[in-house]
Chain A
Amino acid sequence: MSLTPEKTVLLESKARDIRRSIVEMLIEAKSGHTAGPLDMADIFTYLYFHALKHDPKNPSWEYRDHLILSNGHICPVLYATMAYAGYFPVEELKTLRKFGSRLQGHPHREWLPMLETSSGPLGCGIAQTVGMALADRINNGRSSSKQFYCLVGDGELDEGNNWEAIMLAGKEKIQNLTVIVDRNNIQIDGFTEDVMPLNPLVDKWRSFNWHVQEINGHDFRDIDRAVGEAKSVFDKPSVIIAYTIPSKGIPEFERKFEWHGKPPTTPEEIKSALDAVRTLGGRVTNSDHS
């Protein structure tokens, strides 16, 4: 399914809604992560509104594609995208991190059974996705029509378990597995290359026998081209290294690692954030900050 200009406009509009909801739910929750959810909004939008074979009204549909979020702390973007896709009411997003909410601080499959897995502790998502794909191979063989997508953070690649799983996927030549790395260059303690250098990241993946692509994680045509190419590679698993701008959409927060793990809390921060996502920095008339 090609990405038409009309569809691109639609995706851009959805991504705006999702970013607005992310900011609103974080302000309401008074805790949580800002940078990652905002920078992955375009990729989540693309996957849920264009690429994934899924049915929000029948989440356990047998023939669905599987999306696994490894870095569970960016779940506001997962929850917001799923709500807009029709999995649950958008209104429910305000319950994020509250007692009794299905929207736990890190995703829990028992609270929200439409999730493929629970996540939060970093470095475990690729292993689980490889396991799912191997189980699918036992069931459906190598011509399986299912696709498995695992979304990981770049800082998360410090965890050794990732590389164990990456090695196994290369060995098993899991052709229907696509990992998307959120290459936003930040983690809690600073920039990734200061905390623990990941570069040369492309060479690392390639040497583990993966098909590697690099994209602009905010360009829907770029995302579309890479996801399509990943699906067409048969003898290797695929990784898409998506370069993203942390806190994308709130200019004052963008590229600052300090926003990795906190929400806007002061009146000034809240005003900046809401101005940016509700009025696109004043380009749209809507100054309701209540």
Chain B
Amino acid sequence: MLNPSQQLNPKIFDSDVEQVSIRKGFGEGLLKAAQMDKNVVGLCADLIDSTMMTGFKQMFPDRFIEIGIAEQNLAGVASGMATMGKIPFMTSYAMFSPGRNWEQIRTTIAYNNVPVKIVGSHAGVSVGPDGGTHQAIEDIALMRVIPRMVVISPCDAIEACKATIAIAQTQDPTYIRLIRGKTPIITTDDTPFEIGKAQIMFKSMPAHAGQEGQDSNFNVGIIATGALLHTALKVAQKLEAEGKKVIVMNLATIKPLDTDAIIQLANQAGAIVTVEEHQIAGGMGSAIAECIASHKPVPIEFIGVKDQFGQSGTPDELIEHYGMGEKDIYVAACKVMLRK
């Protein structure tokens, strides 16, 4: 069942669940953050509308810099502004930032330790018809290997709004990953959000109800990041209907990793499925595996892109083709339970 303490969208499993793009939530969060702090500035590489900077540019024209199609410069200029006390949000498509400007991000932002917020929109294969050139499925890996870099991948527009406001208040170099298309609203304004904290979104009643401290009463734990959390929740519901005890974790912050929560999940479930719209290599699942292998080895199945490039298609077609659909997650869960 959905975790009541998370106060999730009551219509989450309805066929007419409201759908909003995650990047839109970023745009709203940026406006709020900018109203709260005059040091918040915006930089964009010729993608104002599609990275949801229009409102910011209109409301704060003196705090907005149009960089043009020059993502390396985007990073360097943002770094310079940050050394002067600004909190720069630099936006582009994830494929180009952090795709093209990785070394500038590493040296001028992370090595320099300045609070630039790197906003990578249109991440994942769900960019759709634009094809493989524009589908960033390596960005989490690129960012999480850089020391100090905070990596955040919100599950819906509401969480993206909260995450944007939260990261504007830290001095950490930060990457936030956004999705282009409309995706189901999972959370509500009352759902808690904290950088670095994993959230249990779904938890079956334990086999021995009422016995606190029972660690191994669950059959499987699913850890998801980004919009695929919604699919993971649907799979959990199905598994639960079949009598399985399931926990679903939303891992919005991929770095720093909430290791305590992940170890606890490994203890409780004894088997884990990771779900992300990203290459399996180096992504969120890899981060989980690094943690689990060191602390509590349990079998893991990884849902993600298997060392391939994307292609044109609808988001649904691509998610299914690359093995990240509802059926794939279900099969992975069944498989990992057999490996216990």
Which residues of A come within 8 Å of B, CB atoms? 108-110, 116-121, 123-124, 126-136, 138-139, 160-161, 164-165, 167-168, 171-172
Contact of B72 among A108, A109, A129, A164 (CB under 8 A): A164
Known contacts being A127-B77, A128-B83, A138-B41, is A121 close to B107, with CB within 8 Å? yes
| 6 interchain pairs, CB-CB under 8 A | A109-B112, A116-B83, A117-B108, A124-B108, A135-B84, A164-B68
Is B122 at the interface (CB under 8 A from chain A)?
no
Q: How far is the CA of A132 from the CA of B77 in the complex (A)?
A: 7
Known contacts being A109-B112, A167-B68, A168-B73, is A134 close to B80, with CB within 8 Å? yes
Q: Report whether A118 and B108 are in contact in the complex, using a CB–CB cutoff of 8 Å.
A: yes
Is B312 at the interface (CB under 8 A from chain A)?
no
Q: Report whether A131 and B77 are in contact in the complex, using a CB–CB cutoff of 8 Å.
A: yes
Q: Report whether A130 and B112 are in contact in the complex, using a CB–CB cutoff of 8 Å.
A: no
Q: Report whether B107 and A134 are in contact in the complex, using a CB–CB cutoff of 8 Å.
A: no
Query: What is the predominant secondary structure among interface residues of chain A facing chain B?
Result: helix
Query: What is the predominant secondary structure among interface residues of chain B facing chain A?
Result: helix
In the bound complex, residues from chain A placing their C-beta under 8 Å from that of B82 are 131
Distance in Å: Cβ of A71 to nearest Cβ of chain B = 13
Q: Report whether B70 and A118 are in contact in the complex, using a CB–CB cutoff of 8 Å.
A: no
Is B49 at the interface (CB under 8 A from chain A)?
no
Distance in Å: Cβ of B234 to nearest Cβ of chain A = 45
In the bound complex, residues from chain B placing their C-beta under 8 Å from that of A123 are 72
Chain B residue at smallest Cβ distance from A162: B73
Q: Report whether B77 and A128 are in contact in the complex, using a CB–CB cutoff of 8 Å.
A: yes
Q: Which chain B residues in 59-87 approach chain A with CB under 8 Å?
A: 62-63, 65, 67-68, 70, 72-73, 75-86
Q: Report whether A118 and B112 are in contact in the complex, using a CB–CB cutoff of 8 Å.
A: yes
Contact of B70 among A108, A135, A168 (CB under 8 A): A168
Residues 23-62 of B, flagged 1 when their CB comes within 8 A of A and 0 if not, give 0000000000000000001000000000000000000001
Q: Report whether A139 and B112 are in contact in the complex, using a CB–CB cutoff of 8 Å.
A: no
Q: Report whether B80 and A138 are in contact in the complex, using a CB–CB cutoff of 8 Å.
A: no
Given contacts A121-B107, A124-B107, A164-B73, list 10 more A-B pairs with CB under 8 A: A109-B112, A110-B111, A116-B83, A121-B104, A127-B77, A131-B84, A138-B62, A160-B72, A161-B73, A168-B70
